[in-house]
Copies of this chain bind each other. A is one copy, B any other.
């Protein structure tokens, strides 16, 4: 990068001006997961992007998953995973491990990392101040302590945002009787984004975006209208693991989120590129 003149540097900064103006005081919810959580260099980029957005006046909320670390701990504790119809069953013991790893290890380590880049972050989970009220997921199959969201009370997030903090959220929650539920992080992101009437919801994934031909990255669809989703499902363009992610996007936009994006978490600074430059990244739903 040494070859870039200070003139070019200034121009790049100035080019970001209209984007900074557009998102000033707006709420952006980022779902952080997948490869971007595993690769240490990219993790560092994501943290700096988040602190950057916070610093220039964007209200950023970070929701995270933590699959690999949970699996790792389950293995170390010799807790075997049971599968029902191909879906993982979450035992009470597993749910406790999920809470511990997500809310104690992953969440607070992210908070610490944001702090080392100058951000003032606060680590919350669904149990804090009634953020997420959950119950046992009811979809025909008994998956144990997998939960679905009954209600959210986002007061603790908005209080944190109003005081300038970056809320970092682990998606475990408790039920009426105090039982621990593991909540799907994409779904929680969508519900929280809607409750916050977020301007943008960004889901970080391990793919380029929605591809017309899933084996050819050059066929990326940059923007999808909600009305097109149904036919893209029929034609098989939206299929497999993309279906629930895109359903989260559709739900979010339907319930008041400005726009939802699926971006490529494998690229360094993909969030900053998406938010502060005219370089489109991933697929936009609105």
User: Which residues on A are within 8 Å of B, measured CB to CB?
Assistant: 1, 4, 6-18, 20-21, 24, 45, 48-49, 51-52, 55-57, 76-77, 96, 99-105, 107-109, 111-113, 115-118, 120-125, 127-130, 156, 159, 163, 165, 172, 174, 178, 268-269, 272-273, 276-277, 279
Contacts and interface: CB of A to CB of B under 8 A. Distances in A.
Contacts of A172: 108
A112 B178 contact: yes
28 contacts: A1-B11, A4-B4, A4-B12, A9-B12, A9-B273, A9-B279, A12-B12, A13-B52, A13-B276, A14-B48, A14-B269, A17-B117, A20-B52, A20-B56, A55-B56, A100-B104, A100-B105, A103-B104, A104-B105, A109-B127, A111-B128, A112-B178, A113-B178, A120-B130, A122-B122, A122-B129, A123-B125, A159-B163
B105 A99 contact: yes
- At the interface, is chain A mostly helix, strand, loop or mixed? helix
Given A9-B277, A99-B108, A103-B108, 16 more contacts: A1-B8, A10-B277, A13-B13, A14-B272, A20-B56, A24-B55, A100-B101, A103-B107, A103-B123, A104-B105, A112-B178, A113-B178, A120-B130, A120-B156, A122-B124, A159-B165
